[in-house]
Amino acid sequence: MTISSIPEPEDVSALISGAEALLAANAPVEQPAPPVATTGPAVTPSAAVTGETKRVRQLRAEVAEAHLLADLQDDDSPLLLDSPKVRKRRRAAYEASRLHELAQDPMMKAWQAARMRKLLVAVSMVSLTLALAWSTAGVQVFASEGAPAWSPSWVFAWLVEPFMSMALLVVVGARAYMATHGQPIESKTLTWIEYLFLALTLGMNAWRHLPGVAADFSLSALVLHILGPVVAVAIVTALPIILAAFSGLDHGRQSVTPSGSTRPQTPAAPADLRSERVTETHTSSPTRGKSLADHRTDLTVLIANGVLPPEPSAERIRKALGCSREAAMTLRDELRDES
């Protein structure tokens, strides 16, 4: 190696600078590291100094949970919701309230009264039929007069009670039917016919068992034989009274007057309905001592005192004032014209 081949210091420095530049140009680019996500409180290097341990974090979480639970428990919304049992009870109470309200309706009251009236009439007619059938044997013994069994007199004696009972049932049934339709038949003739048939039935049943007639008097035998006729008399007597009470029921219906006000609507009496179907001459003066003006004054006082409804029937006016039927009908028509 000669002295001329030794590099100069400047050449060495230039060579080193060129190598550094080459290495810097070919060096890979470093990507920045992604940030580390933390879910809990950041643990600082000074955690051991401040006391932020795992137990502290657990207790802090329990306290936060307690605060949230306390806030939710103060809300009463879940308690306001109806359970299935409450809804079922509420539905039953609502249904009971509607049924009670419906029962107070005048139309419902009228329907219930008509239904009960028909039921009572049906039961009374069945009881009357059985009572008359009970007395058939006693009447047969009375009518046969000891005739041999299966002889013509003995056989025809069984028909005595049935044809009397059928005639009686025709009268009672007709009166009951008309009464259920608000038009009871007020006839003394029919009343006498009913009591005549019942008296004959009672007499024929009791005759052979009366004291002094029966060979061996027995009170039990007498009672058993008159039981059927007595029940029949009771039914025939009580049925018209019951039906008359049904006809006089006021169900509280309201009618609207031409002026727009409401007033209680009273059912027309049966006699009033019948009088509307019969053409009669209205006389302007009554025939029972008082003038029509006097009866008009008395009627006004009775209506004002509440003894009679605002529009009474002619029959109720006649009974209250004791006037003739013609005067009562005249007063009734005047009231209707005024209303």
Averaged over 295-318, what is the pLDDT?
Answer: 84
The rounded distance, in Å, linking the Cα atoms of 112 and 272 is: 24
C-beta of residue 129 within 8 angstroms of C-beta of residue 223: no
The reply to whether 57 falls in a domain is no
**Residue 222 pLDDT:** 81
Distance CA 321, CA 315 (A): 10
The domain boundary residue, chosen from 247, 274, 306 = 247
- Shared domain for 283 and 221, answered yes or no, is no
Residue 43 has pLDDT above 70, yes or no: no
Structure tokens of 26?
């070919």
HEC per residue, the chain: CCHHHCCCHHHHHHHHHHHHHHHHHHCCCCCCCCCCCCCCCCCCCCHHHHCCCHHHHHHHHHHHHHHHHHHHHCCCHHHHCCCHHHHHHHHHHHHHHHHHHHHCCHHHHHHHHHHHHHHHHHHHHHHHHHHHHHCHHHHHHHHHCCCCCCCHHHHHHCCHHHHHHHHHHHHHHHHHHHHHCCCCCCCHHHHHHHHHHHHHHHHHHHHHHCCCCCCCCCHHHHHHHHHHHHHHHHHHHHHHHHHHHHHCCCCCCEEECCCCCEEECCCCCHHHHHHHHCCCCCCCCCCCCCCHHHHHHHHHHHHHCCCCCCCCCHHHHHHHHCCCHHHHHHHHHHHHHHC
Mark whether 174 and 241 lie in a shared domain.
yes
> What sign does the CA torsion over 37, 39, 44, 48 have?
negative
Using the 3D structure, point to which of 198, 218, 247 is the last residue of a domain.
247
Tell me what pLDDT residue 184 has. Answer: 78
For 313, the token pair is 């029937």
Q: Residues 117, 246: contact at Cβ < 8 Å?
A: yes
Statement to judge: residues 265 and 207 lie in one domain? no
161 and 129 within one domain: yes
Q: Which one of 5-14, 174-183, 199-208 scores highest in mean pLDDT?
A: 199-208
Asked if residue 328 is part of any domain, the answer here is yes
The answer to whether residue 279 scores a pLDDT higher than 80 is no
Please check whether residue 42 lies inside any domain of the structure: no
Contact 135, 225 (CB under 8 A): yes
Going from the C-alpha of 247 to that of each of 49, 176, 241, the distances in angstroms are: 103, 12, 10
Question: Is 227 within the bounds of a domain?
Answer: yes
* Exposure of 147 in the CB half-sphere (CA atoms within 13 A): 15
Phi-psi region of 148 (alpha: psi -120 to 50; beta: other; left: phi over 0): beta
Report the domain count for the chain.
2
State both tokens at 325: 């039927």
The answer on 197 and 309 residing in a single domain is no
pLDDT by residue (tens digit) across 93-114? 999 999 998 888 888 888 888 8
Selected residue with higher pLDDT from 90 and 165: 90
Do 160 and 270 reside in the same domain of the chain?
no
Q: Which of 302, 339, 296, 293 is nearest to 320 (CA)?
A: 302
Q: Answer yes or no: do 160 and 194 share one domain.
A: yes
Residue 169 lies in a domain: yes
Least confident of 209-213, 252-256, 262-266, 281-285: 281-285
Whole-angstrom distance, CA of residue 187 vs CA of residue 179? 13
Q: Is residue 23 part of a domain?
A: no
- The pLDDT assigned to 322 comes to 83
- pTM here is 0.45
> Based on the domain organization, do 243 and 277 belong to the same domain?
no
Quote the CA–CA distance of 140 and 151 in Å, as a whole number: 13
Residues 155 and 243 reside in one and the same domain: yes
- Same-domain pairing of 129 and 224: yes
Cα separation, 166 vs 169, in Å, equals 5
- Does 215 lie in the same domain as 135? yes
Q: Domain span at residue 139?
A: 106-247
Taking the C-alpha atoms of residue 136 and residue 331, their distance in angstroms, rounded to an integer, is 51
Same domain, 183 and 316: no
Is the pLDDT confidence value at 280 over 80?
A: no
Domain assignment present for 281: yes
Per-residue pLDDT at 28: 58
Q: Which of 211, 231, 247 is the last residue of a domain?
A: 247
Residue 315 is predicted with a pLDDT of 84
Instruction: Provide the pLDDT for residue 123.
Output: 92
Q: How many other C-beta atoms lie within 10 A of the C-beta of residue 86?
A: 10
Structural tokens at position 97: 């309230």
- What pairs with residue 3 in β-bridges? none
Q: Select from 300, 274, 272, 298 the least CA-distant residue to 286.
A: 298
Assess if residue 327 is contained within a domain.
yes
Confidence of residue 140 (pLDDT cuts 50, 70, 90): confident
Distance (Å, whole) CA 135 – CA 206: 10
